[in-house]
Amino acid sequence: MIVSDSYELLTRLKSLGYDRADRDPWWWPNSGSFETVVGAILTQNASWQRVELSLENLRQEGVLDPERLAEYPQSSLEALIRPSGFFTAKGRNIKALSRGILEAFGDFEGFREAVEREWLLGQRGVGPETADAILNYACYKEAFVVDSYTARLLAALGWEFEGYEEVQSWMIEGLLGREAELFPGMSVAQAWARSHGMVVEYCKANRKGRRILVEKLEAREA
């Protein structure tokens, strides 16, 4: 194995410069906002470049809050988020989640404070990755996000897992209790956010089609 655990992997990624200091302190753009919740849904099966186009449309229309989106016409919402694809389903899911937030928590601040993973997983169109992205990047809670990039990178490194939960457990187990060594002064939640960000940044910079290249990590081993 090129790396023995997630801490070793993340340490190498950081030494290679994939902890982007020029980004949001939590890596996800405009973290801690309701925009992050919407972005987590829009990015399903879509590139971030397409998501940014949709988010900009929503900003221009002035509807990036649960109160407005809960009542915004479905057809108009679909037109705004069309660049992200699957706009009919995503529009319905965004409206349903907006209404759910208002009904269960009163407003976005109440949602950020009190939401739990189980509640999110019970919402339409919200799976484990989307739920964890919302918890970590929008609510600043301890939820470690893994995605297809994570799975492909670990596969390229010789690790095999059966699904999301196994990949997530592997990432957490190697890092747990050592977050301050990797990211001094940061909370566990923020360290987890930045850790996922490094994986994504590496994979985007070192992919060939769907394959993730690991030459840089191998070079560090040598």
Q: Is residue 88 part of a domain?
A: yes
Nearest 5°: phi and psi at 33? -115, 165
Residues paired with residue 104 on neighbouring β-strands, in sequence order: none
Q: What number of H helices and E strands is found in the chain?
A: 14, 2
- Alpha-carbon span 168 to 133, nearest angstrom: 12
Distances 3 to 141, 142, 170 between C-alpha atoms, Å: 27, 24, 12
Task: Please give the tally of structural domains in the chain.
Answer: 2
CATH of the domain at 213: 1.10.1670.10
- 106 and 155 part of one domain: no
Q: Is residue 71 part of a domain?
A: yes
Per-residue pLDDT tens listing for the chain (222 residues): 689 999 999 999 999 999 998 999 999 999 999 999 999 999 999 999 999 999 999 999 999 999 999 999 999 999 999 999 999 999 999 999 999 999 999 999 999 999 999 999 999 999 999 999 999 999 999 999 999 999 999 999 999 999 999 999 999 999 999 999 999 999 999 999 999 999 999 999 999 988 999 988 887 554
- Alpha-carbon span 112 to 35, nearest angstrom: 13
- 81 and 116 part of one domain: yes
pTM of this structure: 0.96
Domain span at residue 217 reads: 6-24+144-221
Looking at 138, 155, 188, which one is the last position of a domain? 138
Distances 99 to 96, 102, 112 between C-alpha atoms, Å: 5, 5, 15
Looking at 76, 105, 138, which one is the last position of a domain? 138
- 213 and 183 part of one domain: yes
Q: Is residue 158 part of a domain?
A: yes
Looking at 107, 138, 169, which one is the last position of a domain? 138
Spatial contact of 201 and 36, defined as CB atoms under 8 Å apart:
no
- Alpha-carbon span 154 to 199, nearest angstrom: 10
- 52 and 129 part of one domain: yes
